[in-house]
């Protein structure tokens, strides 16, 4: 089951910048945004930049990989803790 996030870009930026969310938790939100990207025009450069600023370029690759696995249904969100 997938949810829809209102103001998804603001949500993920808050998760990243607050420092209270793990990379795995952000990956779940990233996957939700990927799913919604046909309906919403997200500023991926800004989102990815926030991730690399808060963590590292390696963290961005990790989050993207986890998010795509979630998006494709190869993992379940509860496995991404």
Output the pTM of the full model: 0.86
The DSSP string of 28-62 is HHHHHHHHHTTTS---HHHHHHHHHHHS-HHHHHH
- Is the Cα torsion angle 18, 38, 3, 62 positive or negative in sign? negative
Rounded CA-CA distance 12/63 in Å is 12
The domain ranges of the chain are 8-79
User: Whose CA is closest to 70, among 28, 26, 42?
Assistant: 28
Rounded CA-CA distance 17/24 in Å is 15
pLDDT value, residue 3: 63
Positions in the chain short of pLDDT 50: 1
């Amino acid at each position: 089951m997938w949810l829809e996030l209102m103001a998804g870009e603001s949500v993920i930026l808050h998760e990243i910048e607050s420092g209270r969310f793990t990379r795995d938790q952000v990956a779940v939100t990233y996957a939700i945004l990927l799913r919604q990207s046909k309906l919403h025009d997200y500023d991926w450069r800004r989102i990815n930049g926030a991730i690399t600023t808060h963590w590292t370029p390696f963290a961005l690759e990790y989050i993207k990989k986890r998010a795509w696995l979630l998006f494709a249904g190869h993992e379940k969100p509860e496995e991404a803790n």
